[in-house]
């Protein structure tokens, strides 16, 4: 039996919610401490080292406590489970945007237990930097912290820049492997990349901007190689996918179909089981997808239901789990925790709808 580990729950939980959370924590060898506001939680964190945090998304500024905790080195790797009374695409995207590792129904005790039991048994540790240096140029402190955490967990040593002058100067470092920059800090994109490369940098560059400016940024970068535009409001893990695609472009271009970032709620269950769990898609191809979750199914054959891109029609698909990734630093990580699924079966209509949805988004991004 595992020794009891501390977990922090933050939010205005009702009596039923708190009873479920306490029961789930006990079933997972956690001892739950509940705080009702960020200031109370901050005081508790100053004297304790949690192995997990559970945050009610209905509480005021749920991201505040996550950011306060992760701003401290000793809490930077603590997993955060967001809790909600309903699941939606917006709910998942918002939770990931402020740094949660998963979103779960607060009424689903088994889903909470499953995720807590899959967390690392030891206290979170700092990852080892084995993939070189990454520059994160970002003037928003929350986004800067989250992008740094994603790349650090993937094995990069992080350098931060918060001004245009530092961004342009640091980007010329020939040791850089990856540059992730807010478009506001890098000036004219083509000139920024050219200056870095003239100085000897071979780093791939991901430049992110608000969605309203994304089309213009795509056009500005169209003639450059090793560079990509990204949605600045998307989950921070997306930059890891993009940077890996850029670094391995020669290999990934040989795939039968390109992998494309696409986020939507996914219901999944082991084939023949009675109840769905829920995750959020990370990327898709014509023949499969990757689903974000802290609780990937143990079954190898899985049923899923989701909406393909650019449609409200839901499809049911069957697939084989190709691989699983649990939470924790992995120096060659290309995805957040979850599972990859190869589609093996469905009705003719559902397979057609999936293929049409995939082709629609692929053509839109070509």
Q: Give the span between the Cα atoms of 306 and 316, in whole angstroms.
A: 7
Instruction: Convert the pLDDT of each residue in 76-90 to its tens digit.
Output: 788 999 999 999 999
pTM for this prediction: 0.87
**Cα-to-chain-centroid distance, residue 156:** 16
Q: Of 129, 62, 132, 137, nearest to 95 (Cα)? A: 62
Say what the pLDDT of residue 62 is.
72
Q: Give the pair of three-digit tokens for residue 231.
A: 């949605």
Say what the pLDDT of residue 333 is.
63
Instruction: Convert the pLDDT of each residue in 247-280 to its tens digit.
Output: 887 444 444 578 899 999 999 999 999 999 999 9
3-class SS shares of the chain: helix, strand, coil, % to 5? 35, 30, 35
Min mean pLDDT across 127-131, 216-220, 317-321 is at 127-131
What's the mean pLDDT when you consider all of the chain? Answer: 89
**Cα-to-chain-centroid distance, residue 208:** 16
Say what the pLDDT of residue 205 is.
96
Question: Which residues of the chain does CATH 2.40.10.220 include?
Answer: 260-365
Pick the CATH number of 133-252 from 3.90.10.10, 1.10.3720.10, 3.40.50.300, 3.40.50.2300: 3.40.50.2300
Question: Which residues of the chain does CATH 3.40.50.2300 include?
Answer: 5-118, 133-252
* Dihedrals phi, psi of 200, to nearest 5 degrees: 105, 0
175 to each of 48, 89, 172, 200, 242, how far by Cα in Å? 38, 38, 9, 9, 20
Q: Of 348, 350, 288, 292, nearest to 319 (Cα)? A: 288
**Cα-to-chain-centroid distance, residue 60:** 22
Q: Of 311, 322, 321, 320, nearest to 353 (Cα)? A: 311
Say what the pLDDT of residue 252 is.
43
Confidence of residue 123 (pLDDT cuts 50, 70, 90): low
Cβ(167)–Cβ(185) below 8 Å: yes
Cβ(6)–Cβ(53) below 8 Å: no
More confident residue, 331 or 115: 115
Residues in CB range of 147: below 8 A, 6 or more apart: 136, 138, 180, 236, 239
Domain 5-118 grouped into CATH 3.40.50.2300: yes
Pick the CATH number of 260-365 from 2.70.150.10, 3.90.1150.10, 3.40.50.300, 2.40.10.220: 2.40.10.220
């Amino acid at each position: 039996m595992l020794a009891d580990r501390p977990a922090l729950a933050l939010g205005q939980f009702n009596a039923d919610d708190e009873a479920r959370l306490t029961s789930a924590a006990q079933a997972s060898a956690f001892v739950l401490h509940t705080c009702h506001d960020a200031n109370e939680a901050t005081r508790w964190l100053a004297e304790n080292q949690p192995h997990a945090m559970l945050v009610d998304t209905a509480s005021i500024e749920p991201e505040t406590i996550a950011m306060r905790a992760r701003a401290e080195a000793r809490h930077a790797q603590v997993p955060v489970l967001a809790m909600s009374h309903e699941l939606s695409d917006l709910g998942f995207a918002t939770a990931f945007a402020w740094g949660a590792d998963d979103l779960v129904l607060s009424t689903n005790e088994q889903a909470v237990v499953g995720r807590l039991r899959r967390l690392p048994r030891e206290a979170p540790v700092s990852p080892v930097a084995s993939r070189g240096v990454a520059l994160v140029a970002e003037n928003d402190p929350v986004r800067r912290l989250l992008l740094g955490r994603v790349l650090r967990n993937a094995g990069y040593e992080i350098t931060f820049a918060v001004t245009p002058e530092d961004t342009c100067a640091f980007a010329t470092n020939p040791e850089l492997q990856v540059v992730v920059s807010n478009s506001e800090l890098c000036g004219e994109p083509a000139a920024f990349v050219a200056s870095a490369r003239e100085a000897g940098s071979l780093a791939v560059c991901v430049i992110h901007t608000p969605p309203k400016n994304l089309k213009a940024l795509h056009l500005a970068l169209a003639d450059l190689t090793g560079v990509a535009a990204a949605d600045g409001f998307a989950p921070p893990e997306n930059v890891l996918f993009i940077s890996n695609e850029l670094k391995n472009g020669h290999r990934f271009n040989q795939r039968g179909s390109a992998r494309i970032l696409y986020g939507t709620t996914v219901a999944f269950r082991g084939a023949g089981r009675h109840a769905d769990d829920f995750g959020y898609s990370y990327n898709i191809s014509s023949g499969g997808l990757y689903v974000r979750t802290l609780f990937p199914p143990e079954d190898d054959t899985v049923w899923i239901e989701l909406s393909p891109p650019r449609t409200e029609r839901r499809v049911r698909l069957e697939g084989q789990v190709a691989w699983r990734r649990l939470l924790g630093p992995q120096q060659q990580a290309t995805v957040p925790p979850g599972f990859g699924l190869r589609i093996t079966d469905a009705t003719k209509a559902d397979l057609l709808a999936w293929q049409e949805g995939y082709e629609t988004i692929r053509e839109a991004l070509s």
